[in-house]
Structure 1
């Protein structure tokens, strides 16, 4: 009886916590479908009186939505591809390589995790300016070409793979890149998939860096575009909140889809990423 009560209490607590966490997302979703008149009601409604799909079209017309989407996709794909490939090669070197100061260099890589980008953006901005990369895809992508966290995750996974697998592949005539991409990477697929998801979410949601590195609508991304939309209606948020929420819903949909399909790989990778 006591065990049943304890289990029921835990389930109820878990459901309550889940509801509290997802309520802001739910509120954003229903707000995206409401009319301005419904938003001004003294008593808020928990479901739209009428689903206003036109809100999404109006949001697209408020800012250069399609151009911002293209920029966001290019930025995200570029960063993900570079971070995964650089992470795989660096992790292989730190896990299976043998060179002077290997572990010390790895600690320096880990130290990069505690340095926020706001601290280093001035020297990087100066560098991008001298290279004439401001307001280009290079400035959006290259500074984030490597991920210290990704190198850490992959390094831990590669260390758990027996060296006999590598030696057997070399005996069969595989070179180093074939061992890395045809043997080790498939064996570390949960970690690689996790890195893709983390890199995708971080790049898709990036706001500070694109804001600093771009100065025209031709190169803005979606996060900056939504901020521009908010600023353009400053003082009238109550009348246009449905447009802001509609744009926000469109932006988070790709993240939700990617996370739903990759969540099992994230759990598997996190379970195997402890220090060895």
Structure 2
């Protein structure tokens, strides 16, 4: 019996060690590109062109970050991206809140069918609706404006689904009591449901921010002047402007990319517990 127990303990320790080793390998595989991006952004042009790559800078070339502001209007691109992300968050959250409230607590004919159609929008690629939306923006005279960057993404099927699932889990008795006290629909939504579903709302805001910040295809098509370019398009312009000499300026491109992803990393790291909690409550009901 003792030998069997010892064999079982040995097997458990070996299995645990294998799991830890696999987890570490996956973590290193995922983290290495970020590490290489950061390290490369601090290398000199000469070190970047070395035949044998170095895994640590010989000298920290902080001037690469200043160079990024010199070669392209980086501050302008950063401000445009921030405005686009803030506008998208404000518009998408309000649309999702009102739609989710209707689907979760409303009683009207065809509610479930309409919600199914909203979910069906999740499988439609953005490129499918690009042409009609582009024509619409052109007819409205919104090309190369923030309206074209923000308004077409004002409704998010995933956001409506996420908030609807959160609202479905809330007790209706509280809402009925509020109605008896004379509260209207907007008062119930913004004064009662919104605070109770705040973790999900915060999570959705973070996801909208990340999606807007990383958006490339839509801003590329909808803007045609430097005054309206965003970071993703601006960094691509930086790469294209030095076509043929990438090896000489890879450090500057890396520095630009580090500054672009830094806000996402900070926000996601600070708010990841809200994302986990919201996803745990988003099961289909």
TM-score per shorter chain, which class? over 0.9
Q: Which residue of 1 is the match for residue 187 of structure 2? A: 178
Cα RMSD (Å) = 0.9
TM-score (normalised: structure 1)? 0.98
Q: Which residue of 2 is the match for residue 15 of structure 1? A: 24
Residues 43-192 of structure 1 correspond to what in structure 2 (within 5 A)?
A: 43-192=52-201
User: SS state of the match for residue 212, structure 2?
Assistant: helix
Runs of 4+ in structure 1 off by over 6 angstroms are none
Q: Which residue of 1 is the match for residue 210 of structure 2? A: 201
Mapped to 2, the partners of 1:9 and 1:85 lie a distance apart of 47
User: SS state of the match for residue 146, structure 1?
Assistant: coil
Q: Which residue of 2 is the match for residue 270 of structure 1? A: 279
User: SS state of the match for residue 117, structure 1?
Assistant: coil
Q: Deviations over 1:36-93 (max 9, x none)?
A: 1101112111110111110000011111111111111111000011111110110000
Q: Which residue of 2 is the match for residue 255 of structure 1? A: 264
TM-score (normalised: structure 2)? 0.95
Which has more radius of gyration? Answer: 2
1:7 Cα deviation (Å)? Answer: 1.8
The number of residue pairs the alignment matches comes to 276
Q: Which residue of 2 is the match for residue 213 of structure 1? A: 222
1:5 Cα deviation (Å)? Answer: 2.2
1:174 Cα deviation (Å)? Answer: 2.4
Gaps of 5+ in 1: none
1:185 Cα deviation (Å)? Answer: 1.3
User: SS state of the match for residue 127, structure 2?
Assistant: helix
Q: Which moved more, 1:165-174 or 1:20-29?
A: 165-174
1:34 Cα deviation (Å)? Answer: 0.2
Gaps of 5+ in 2: 1-8
Q: Which residue of 1 is the match for residue 44 of structure 2? A: 35
1:178 Cα deviation (Å)? Answer: 1.7
